[in-house]
Amino acid sequence: MPMIDAYIPEGALHSERETALIDRLTRILIAAEGFDPQNPAALAASWTFLHRPALYVGGAEADAPRYKIVVTVPEGQLDERGRSDVIAQVTEAVMDAEDGVWQRDPSRIWVFPVEMPDGHWGGRGKVMRLADILGRLAGADAGSARVLAEERIARSRAERSQMPATSMP
């Protein structure tokens, strides 16, 4: 159930390539969350918000498109390997969508996977916990969905607690 914010400058991609890119991003994320990318319920719950930024680099208009893809998923859906895979696959998908119009350069693409803490995902007018989402999209019974959600969230929190702290100057 990813929410994608795709920042794609106007005219960076041909219309049909952009549409195909958004479909590909959606399916990459659905698969990364462990669901079938063909599942109609998963597709219906996966939204992309397309933003058309004016883009400047170093205070001047950019000489080539830059892309920012922010992927928001419920806590527990992407571990370190999942985030790394998503970043790599999304970067490739964007470069493929350019179809050779621009130099194939991954440094122009930034991907930010963001996990929303459990209990902070809202939809349908209520809080949607990971167990609710897993039950709805995976067709699991409430007990199995709750156990799976607890395992994923615990793994995610343990991984974060092992990450080295970064200091800001």
CATH number at residue 51: 3.30.429.10
**pTM confidence score:** 0.88
What separation in angstroms does the CA of 66 have from each of 14, 30, 111, 157? 15, 24, 11, 32
> Can you give the residue range of the structural domain that contains 51?
3-118
- In-domain check, residue 82: yes
Total Cβ atoms within 10 A of residue 39: 15
Q: Taking the alpha carbons of 98, 102, 104, 105 in that order, is the dihedral positive or negative? A: negative
Does a structural domain hold residue 123?
Answer: no
3-state secondary structure of 46: coil
Total domains in the chain come to: 1
Domain assignment present for residue 142? The answer is no
Within 8 A by CB and 6+ apart from 151, the residues are none
| Domain-located, residue 157 | no
pLDDT for the residue numbered 164:
78
In a domain, 113, yes or no: yes
In a domain, 124, yes or no: no
Chain position carrying tokens 């992407």: 78
What letter represents residue 51's amino acid? H
Among 123, 119, 124, 147, smallest CA distance to 134 is for: 147
Tell me, what's the pLDDT at 161? 86
Structure token pair of residue 56: 């400047």
Name 9's Cβ contacts closer than 8 Å, sequence gap at least 6. Answer: 52, 53, 54, 55, 62, 65, 66, 67
Q: Can you give the pLDDT at residue 166?
A: 64
Q: What is the mean pLDDT of each run of 10 residues along the chain (169 residues)?
A: 94 97 98 93 94 96 96 93 97 97 97 95 90 82 88 89 69
